[in-house]
Structure formats: C-alpha cells, structure tokens
Chain A
C-alpha cells in the first residue's frame, strides 16, 4: 500500500444512510474501479460533502484509506448532469445505469474503459434529453466490454452465415441463431433483420455515429426486450430499477387504477 490519502475522479453509483448523518457510498472511480467509502456528515445541511456526493455526480474526490472502508475527505463536483436531475425519465435512466454498473462490476478492479463509457453515457443522456436509445447502446457496449458480446455475425449454434431474414436470438447460446437452429430452440425468440442490423452497427460505432440511427417505436421495443432478456440471463436476476422504468413508461399505473376505482 502506498500513500494513505489518494485522489481520483469518480461517479457515485449508490449511497446508503450510514449511522446518524453519514453516507456509505459506492463510487465508480477512474483509477481504482468500484470503491466503497464513507462520507462523514454528508446528510447534515451545510455539509461540504453533501451535494458533491449525491447519486450520479461526477466528482473529484480525495479519499483516505481506512481499516475497512475508505473515507471521503474532500469532494468537488465536476459535472452534476443537471438536465438528468430535472427530468423524471432521465433520472430513472440514471437509476438503471448505476444499478447496471454496480451489478456488473467487482470492487477494486481498475477499469478505465468502463469509467469512460459510463461517463460518456451520462453526458450523452444529459445532452440528448432522451434515454431509451442511449440505454440500449450502453448495455451493448457494456456486455461487449465485459466479454458478453452477443454473437451477431454467424449462427451461435451451427456457425453458418445468417441470412437477411427473421432469425432467432438465444441468451443461453449467447447470440443469434439461424432459422433452422432457432426454430426448435424453446429458449430462443425471433429477431428482425432491422434489429440485428442496428445491433451490429452499434457494436462497431462510437457514440456520435451510433446516435445517427433513428429507431421506430417497434424497433425500440424489440431491442429493449431483447437486451433485457439477455442481461437477465447473464445476471440470473432482474434489476430492481427496471420495474420502476416500466411503471413510468405506463404513465404511472397508480393513476390508471385510481380512475378505475372511481367508476
């Protein structure tokens, strides 16, 4: 172990109440990967840390190594992504992104590429003002980076080149199946030619290029459920924030129920 105090930039991906006024933070840092640290007194009004260690803030942090958990001694926000905070939809995308990063990463494993991808995604989200496409692109890049890239060129079972027709997608086989292999596979679902094209295109494009794709509503829904199934298969669980995003997309079903009650 080198110095007791260290500095790094990080994004706050999770925070819990800890004791009276402290917060237990999970940070995704540029230089040390995922780190857990205590922000003392962060919940008191007028705390210097307070808003600088709020969820989804990109901050310059100074941390001191503790016996068990590190301690945040200073924090200065670099980017607060205000547009994300001002929109319920974007904030929900943010909740999902942070849960995704938290679930897919291990503590204290440095991963600069992942940090940059995450940071760029948040910037993009704040600028674009629209989430779905950005989330899907992020999911694909995340899987790609962590070694879960779905096989999209050849059939994941028989390795034949895929024809430009409706094929099948199987999370268990880790990619697209041709018609013959996919049809009898109960765990596989259909994937349209366009969806396949978009995924292939995203895999080889950067943010700017990827954002040129305009998706129809049908295509957005298809890619969303496809990615969701794939991620769920890998994690063997559904992320908690998904349910909330669905509630929102429904226009808040609490309202619907209320209207029905009054009939």
Chain B
C-alpha cells in the first residue's frame, strides 16, 4: 500500500491520484496541484470541476467535418469566408490547431479520428473515411489535402484514402515531408532527407 495514504487525508490523496492520471503530470506535480486547489478559494475548484464536466456534457462532433464542437455545424464549417472547395484530412481534432496557426489554409477540415493500424487491428471501417467519401460525393470539393502524420500508419492511411478518392476525379495532395525548420542536416534521418530531396523546389 502507498505509504502516503497514512499521512494524507483520503480526499486529497484521491485528487492526487486522479490528477496523476493526466498526461504530463507526475506524482509531484499532482501533489502540488492538489494542495494548490486546497488553498485556493472554493469557486476555483467549482469552476474547474464545471469545466471538466462541461467538455463531456456539451460537446459533440460536427456533422460535416467531425471536429469536436459545441455548435453544429462547427465554427469552421459555419464560417462563410472559408474555401469550401478544399478539405484537409487530419487524424485527430488536435491536429487542426497547428494547421490553423499557420494561417496558410483557408479551407475546411475532415477529422478521421484515428489511423489505420493493422497490427493494432484498427481497420478503415473504424475511421471516418466513409463520411469523407459521402461528403466528397455530396459537395463541390475539388481538392483533398491529406495531412496525416508522417509515420508508417499515417502514410498507409493516406495512400489508402488516395486510392479510394482517385476514381472520383478529385485532386489529392499530401503535405510535403522534409526538414524541420531550425533543424540540422546532420541529424536528419534518411527517410526525411530522401523526401526532402525528392520534393526540392526551384529557388
């Protein structure tokens, strides 16, 4: 048994345990957060608890892009200034954030909610690929940008989707793979460097 149980009041150790389950929060951080909340005014705990529950109660998937949203359609799909002819396919809702930060892309998104992973038994049917195809049939999308992660599962998923879309006569593009900014050639791996050479551009 954890010796802390003897010295820590049960509600506190319960909170510590729960916080500890969160990503990036180790036992020490969990303790600090728990004691911080203990000393903070009660409203703060209530606000936090409300916010935590709120993400479970009020959120749903956008019926168009399957992003997580509280309004349907989501803010991005409802935005009339966006280019409705381009759709960017991402693995997870969180992948939209870095793409939006670039301010380079003004089209819409489609969230797959996963990647094909044969060794984990994750199949195309487990992803939202069907919804993507239906969307392509229904709307006037002319370009699909595949933005899955540049690892084997992401590549496999992209190649698979490309194969399904190409008969529809829609342009399919893939995010370029190359050297990270601020990186160093010496430390680049062979795949990245090969892709960077393949995708070199006129200056």
Contact = CB atoms under 8 A, between A and B. Distances in A.
A92 interface: yes
Interface string B99-140: 000000000000000001011110111000110011001000
Given A20-B24, A51-B190, A85 B152 contact: yes
Given A252-B124, A254-B133, 9 more contacts: A45-B183, A51-B190, A91-B159, A92-B118, A98-B119, A99-B118, A99-B119, A252-B163, A254-B124
Contacts of B180: 45-46
17 contacts: A19-B23, A48-B187, A52-B190, A77-B189, A82-B194, A88-B159, A95-B119, A95-B152, A95-B156, A240-B119, A241-B118, A244-B123, A247-B123, A248-B160, A252-B160, A254-B125, A255-B133
B192 interface: yes
Contacts, number: 94
A88 B130 contact: no
A252 to B, nearest CB: 6
A25 to B, nearest CB: 13
Nearest to A88: B159
Contacts of B155: 85, 91
A96 interface: yes
A155 B156 CA distance: 43
A80 B191 CA distance: 7
A114 to B, nearest CB: 19
Interface residues of B, number: 34
B191 to A, nearest CB: 5
A51 B119 contact: no
Given A45-B180, A82-B191, A56 B152 contact: yes
Contacts of A85: 152, 155, 191
A240 B129 contact: no
Q: Does more than half of chain B's interface fall in helix, strand or loop, or is it mixed?
A: helix
A178 interface: no
Interface string B41-80: 0000000000000000000000000000000000000000
B182 A46 contact: yes
Interface in B148-203: 151-152, 155-156, 159-160, 163-164, 167, 180, 182-183, 187-192, 194
Contacts of B160: 88, 248, 252
A255 B164 contact: yes
Nearest to B159: A88
A50 interface: yes
Contacts of A141: none
A209 B38 CA distance: 74
A87 B123 CA distance: 18
A243 B116 CA distance: 12
A229 interface: no
Nearest to B188: A51
Nearest to B153: A55
Interface pairs A-B: 3 shortest CB-CB: A51-B189, A244-B118, A241-B118
B174 to A, nearest CB: 12
Contacts of A243: 118, 121, 123
Given A20-B23, A80-B190, A258-B133, A54 B151 contact: yes
Contacts of A244: 116, 118, 123
A99 B159 CA distance: 21
Interface in A69-94: 77, 80, 82, 85, 87-88, 91-92, 94
A88 B148 CA distance: 15
Given A51-B189, A51-B192, A77-B189, A254 B119 contact: no
